A and B are shown apart, each in its own frame.
Chain A
Amino acid sequence: MTAPAKALAEKLPESRGGINWFKYASPQTFYPLAGKLIPLFGWPALALALVGLYLSFFVAPTDATQGESYRIIFIHVPAAWMSMIIYLAMAFWCAVGLIFNTRLSFMMSQALAPTGAMWTFIALWTGALWGKPTWGAWWVWDARLTSELILLFLYLGYMALVAAIDDPRRADRAGAVVALVGAINVPIIYFSVKWWNTLHQGASVSVTSAPKMASIMLAGMLVMALAAWAYSVAVVLVRVRALMLERERNTDWVAQLVESSR
């Protein structure tokens, strides 16, 4: 950061009053914060995953109709949730980046994409493992499966475009346009595919009605979902820190960081 910019940044909080939301929009200030946050999410992720796996494999009873194979949902459902939430988060950071012109927002969305793609892939994979004993087929052309597959393509398209452009500024912005157009299109794709063909069961858990599953199963699933959240946050922070160092490698603060860690 140049001297006048620094002076401006120091002056800003007083002139705005209240909390300065933009303080951590700079890689220089966000880098140490992210470093502190990683263990705060990483260790709970591990603990929650262990508790969740214990609940889902040893405590939760065998399902009356589906037998043991239903236990896949403890991974499948959190993965499917995360795949959609991360896409929204990605589109959100892209919008923030385009509106406020903050570099860090684009780095956030690029850090989110691989994790989102991973969850999408896990959701599809575990879904196939569950579908074979339950429906008798690894894959059916059903609304949810198909839209999840298209979500995976959207993630891959975003990552491929960002990787194909050498100039980081253009890569950021072009990727943001793709992510936002995709975000508008996701509901359209979802409903088009839903009307096209459907077999997947309706949602078993919703906020408005009582859950249609035993409470211990629900507890296991929610703990696993929290573990997935914590894991995603921790991993994304690790990745965004790496991106920050790579992008800002020519700046003073990275040089100082390298100097002090020697």
Chain B
Amino acid sequence: MLRILFAVVRRDLLLAWRRRADVFTTLAFFVIVASLFPLGVGPEANLLRTMAPGVLWVSALLATLLSVTRLFAADYADGTLEQMLLSTEPLTLIVLGKVMAYWLVTGLPLVVLAPLLGVQFDLPQGAIGVLSLSLALGTPALSLLGGIGAALTLGLRGGGVLLALLILPLYVPVLIFGAGAVGADAAGLGAGAHLLLLGACFLSALAVSPLATAAALRIAME
């Protein structure tokens, strides 16, 4: 069972490595969107510090939204996805493997890069740590939920906009607890409660979304 999981992760990582530009685009998008906000609202340090958690989280959310359409698109186009559906291995595990690889390629770089952007927004050191931690817990949930949307909109006209309409409402709890953790830390309340709830979001997404994604893929390929 685990062999198929790792085989899928390894394959997708290898594919991503062969096409490094795709990874870079998502990351660049994240940095650019986050950098646009100070230009829009003015460089006042206090304002930026209070805005930073929300801005960085929304940027991460949009970056995920932009790249998640690619999760199944290539496999769908060249027929690999059909073979995956026909395989005797459980589709849920294959989906989980794909989402894991996707997170390693697009989510993890965001987590690593976020502290740098935090410094740009003049966040205090403690808050930067909480920000990284909240992104590390939250972005896997974003990837998992995004997988459902990507599978549902597979091969549809105007899939990108539809995807946003479908999954952005589902992202609300992750956004609230993720940005809230940083905000609570800055307010001196301690980020523990928010991080625990964020972890709960991640775990429930882990339990539900591979199943829902697998079901959606079967519907799409019927």
Chain A residues within CB distance 8 Å of chain B: 150, 153-154, 156-157, 160-161, 164-165, 169-170, 173-174, 177-178, 180-182, 184-185, 188-189, 192-193, 195-196
Q: How far is the CA of A196 from the CA of B201 in the complex (A)?
A: 15
Whether B177 and A174, one on each chain, are in contact in the complex, defined by CB atoms closer than 8 angstroms, is no
- A182 contacts which of B169, B173, B180 (Cβ < 8 Å)? B169
Whether B216 and A174, one on each chain, are in contact in the complex, defined by CB atoms closer than 8 angstroms, is yes
- A189 contacts which of B156, B157, B169 (Cβ < 8 Å)? B169
The B interface is mostly helix, strand or loop, or mixed, namely helix
Known contacts A173-B219, A177-B148, A188-B173; is-contact A160 B162 (Cβ 8 Å): yes
- A178 contacts which of B152, B173, B201, B204 (Cβ < 8 Å)? B152
Q: A164-B158, A188-B201 are in contact. List 5 more A-B contacts (CB 8 A).
A: A157-B165, A161-B152, A181-B208, A189-B172, A196-B176
For the complex formed, measure the closest distance between the CB of B133 and the CB atoms of chain A, giving whole angstroms. 18
Known contacts A164-B162, A165-B156, A188-B204; is-contact A174 B173 (Cβ 8 Å): no
Whether B152 and A174, one on each chain, are in contact in the complex, defined by CB atoms closer than 8 angstroms, is yes
Whether B166 and A150, one on each chain, are in contact in the complex, defined by CB atoms closer than 8 angstroms, is no
The A interface is mostly helix, strand or loop, or mixed, namely helix
Known contacts A177-B212, A184-B208; is-contact A160 B165 (Cβ 8 Å): yes
- Can you offer 30 A-B residue contacts whose CB atoms are under 8 A? A153-B168, A153-B169, A154-B169, A156-B165, A157-B166, A157-B169, A160-B162, A160-B165, A160-B166, A161-B152, A161-B162, A161-B166, A164-B153, A164-B157, A165-B156, A174-B219, A174-B220, A177-B152, A177-B212, A177-B219, A180-B212, A181-B209, A181-B212, A185-B169, A189-B169, A189-B173, A192-B177, A192-B197, A195-B176, A195-B197
**Quick one: closest A residue to B168, CB to CB?**
A153
